[in-house]
Structure 1
Amino acid sequence: MAILELNFESSCVINDFNTNGFVVVKAAFNEAELASVKDIALQFHENWKLKNKSIYEQGAVNSAYLTKEGALTDPARLAMFQFISSNTVSDIILKLIGPTATFMNTQLFFDPCNPNQSNYWHRDPQYHLSLSEQKSALLGPQVVHFRVALKDEPGIELVPQTHKRWDTDEELTIRLEQHGRKNHEKIDGALQVGLSAGDILVFCANMIHRGIYGLDRFALDILLCESDPIFKGYITDGVLPSECMMQKLVNPFIFSNAYQCILE
């Protein structure tokens, strides 16, 4: 597993990321740098729980659209965009994906309301693609999570290299709960990646993974994709900064690319 510092050598990291489907950048942000975005995320989370009480109580473990117009105050929304496009995040994006990386969305990940709820193995595309389409997605452009741990947490479990290979028979029966198997069962070869506050875990959405609940986990995910028209339908301008806000960002390229994708 690649555990990196901010001054990592890009050629080694790109090779490891391409091979295994994930990397961890340790201590990317210090406590002071996290403080403001954590406060914004907490306020969003409390509002979300009030508006989505039944969904939360029924087992939700994530929310989305933090940057959607109206979800935050304008100052908080701008601060979120500034964090997402900060030099720290942008440098990692450029090294791992390149200048055509495109912003898609944001998510928050948290513990379920029920502390006894089981976690579950999945590939992100399984919720909107058929099995044959999921297989094809392994050969195409990638969607990538940039997970910023806002506090210490158990992290997630990943099955390395599954961003480019299909499930084994056992992985598939567990993931899809076939033949009496359950999607919370152990998968051989899985790797747990714990995170400390300020770490960034970068991983491909296509790979087999599951969150690890506990420690009141709280993480901000920035979802990016490689530049490709296939993702056009998954990007909406409502989550993007206005032209006025763009002028206040030091590295607005992921948002500019998103607007370009919408227009194509």
Structure 2
Amino acid sequence: MAAVTAALIKQVRDDTGAGMMDVKKALTEADGDVARAKEIIRAKGIQAAGKREGRSAQEGTIASRVVDTVNGQVGYAVELNSETDFVAKTPKFVAFADQVLDEAIAAEASTADEVLAAKSGDSTVKESVEEAAALFGEHVKVGQVAKIQGDKVEIYAHKKSAEMPPSIVAIIATDEAGAKVAHEAALQVSAMGAKWLSREDVPADVVESERRVATEKSQAEGKPETIIPKIVEGRMNSFYKENVLLEQSYVKDESKSIADLFDEVGGKLTAFARLEVGKGSED
């Protein structure tokens, strides 16, 4: 039997777009004959998996978990995308998303590239995902990834409907005291979609742009020059209240902010992340 070398595998993969394991099997069956291996792949419809790369995968689910460590807790979330919600809600797809999450956690991955490079059996997650495309008959990809660490970590996974897997995941990191209201904060993040934790976290260029827009809008409205600075500050405060988590009004009691919620228990909110299916970068 002819040896199935890495060079042969690469050649067939480059020509067909098929996953590594499928290529290995085809080459083994073809006794190392590249042309025959390609025929086998075509006959099994595997080649089409590579061609699916150009199709949009904006449905899917988000697998998430909190892991205990010697330094506290770490929350992981990995988005796995498919083309249709029909595939996304199947038990096999959900199980595969959990598998990818397991592999991301084992690698302590914090980015999509790190997840794709993580070990998956005898290959990588990237190769497993490519092979999954053939299994599910759709383009499958790893989307957004989050890794949040703190003394305590809370995860809230939201389902848009009972038959669908989670499509929004909020991760909150707090100190020990803050854990008392972490679930409420996670619900807030899921519902209101804050972009930053505190106003100090808002990038300077974003602040500059918002301030410029507020100034020009006030001028266009014909406001007196003497009061424009005060109006601009008011509009900037509204911007922060909408986009900064600690300054948002608590959805269950708008008389208090999220910062007030943590002050009441003497706790601190230290980090957060929010992932929503289909809201990451396009293919």
Report the TM-score, using the length of structure 2 for normalisation. 0.28
Return the structure number with greater relative CO, CA threshold 8 A, min gap 6: 1
TM-score, normalization: structure 1? 0.29
Larger radius of gyration: 2
Higher helix share: 2
